[in-house]
Amino acid sequence: MSAIEIDVTVNGAARRWRVAPGDLLLDVLRREGYGGVKRGCESGECGACTILLDGKAVLACLTFAAQADGREVVTIEGLSPDGKLDPLQEAFVEHAAVQCGYCAPGMILSAKALLDERPDPSEAEVREALAGNLCRCTGYVKPVEAVLAAARAKGGAR
Ligand code: FES
Ligand code: FES
């Protein structure tokens, strides 16, 4: 099938890419250098490939690149464009919510989507937002604590 051109804003920068209609956003983002988009199960089960698409957390392994045409993508690289960590990233570090770190980009982006929409989440809402992000190392207590701490630091969290 012939290639198509898509225009995507990635982490605030305009990009034009030639993709095949069946190319997955996960593959295209990684090919274009966004290595923070992690490849895990490739079947929608682990959340490692989570990105923001127009502000919503979506799984890049279940999204065609063509679906991002004309839309805004944020990857974990976009949270610290000048090398300064986002408060959510800092909270994950401070609360020891990262061990191997493989799940962290997806988890942090799921948390960001939640906090952008709901700055004062309950613990149950944080747990629900992170439910699709699997971690083989830390468990979930510390990531949940980190998200609540980041929300509190911004004046939210109940
Ligand atoms: S790689 Fe996308 S959900 Fe696991
Ligand atoms: S920190 Fe290793 S998978 Fe979550």
Identify the pLDDT of residue 40: 97
Residue 139 has pLDDT above 80, yes or no: yes
Fold for 87-153, please state it.
Answer: DNA polymerase; domain 1 (1.10.150)
Identify the pLDDT of residue 81: 87
| pLDDT bracket for residue 101 (50, 70, 90) | very high
Q: What is the mean pLDDT of the chain?
A: 96
Between the CA of 98 and the centroid of ligand 2 the distance, in Å, is: 6
Q: What is the pLDDT of residues 106-115, one digit of tens each?
A: 999 999 999 9
Q: What is the pLDDT of residues 49-90, one digit of tens each?
A: 999 999 999 999 999 999 999 999 999 999 998 889 999 999
| 58-67 exposure pattern, b = at least 16 Cβ within 10 A, e = fewer | bbbbebbbbe
| pLDDT bracket for residue 1 (50, 70, 90) | low
Question: What string of DSSP letters covers 92-147?
Answer: HHHTT--SS-SSHHHHHHHHHHHHHH-SS--HHHHHHHTTT---SSS-SHHHHHHH
Q: Which numbered ligand comes closest to the C-alpha of 43?
A: 1
Q: Tokens standing for 31?
A: 């090919």
d(CA 130, CA 128): 5
Residue 95 has pLDDT above 90, yes or no: yes
Q: Which numbered ligand comes closest to the C-alpha of 140?
A: 2
Q: How many C-beta neighbours within 10 Å does residue 87 have? A: 17
Residue 157 has pLDDT above 70, yes or no: no
Decide: 24 and 111 in contact? Cβ < 8 Å: no
User: Would the CB of 141 count as within 6 Å of ligand 2?
Assistant: no
Atom of ligand 2 nearest to the CA of 107: 4
Identify the pLDDT of residue 138: 81
Identify the pLDDT of residue 154: 82
Residue 30 has pLDDT above 80, yes or no: yes
Instruction: Give the mutation target among 49, 138, 141 for probing the ligand 2 site: most ligand atoms within 8 A of CB.
Output: 138
Q: 4-79, superfamily in CATH?
A: Beta-grasp domain (3.10.20.30)
Match 């770190």 to its residue by tokens: 101
| HEC letters along 39-104 | CCCCCCCCCCCEEEECCEEEEHHHCEHHHHCCCEEECHHHHCCCCCCCHHHHHHHHCCCCCCCCCH
Domain chopping of the chain, boundaries: 4-79, 87-153
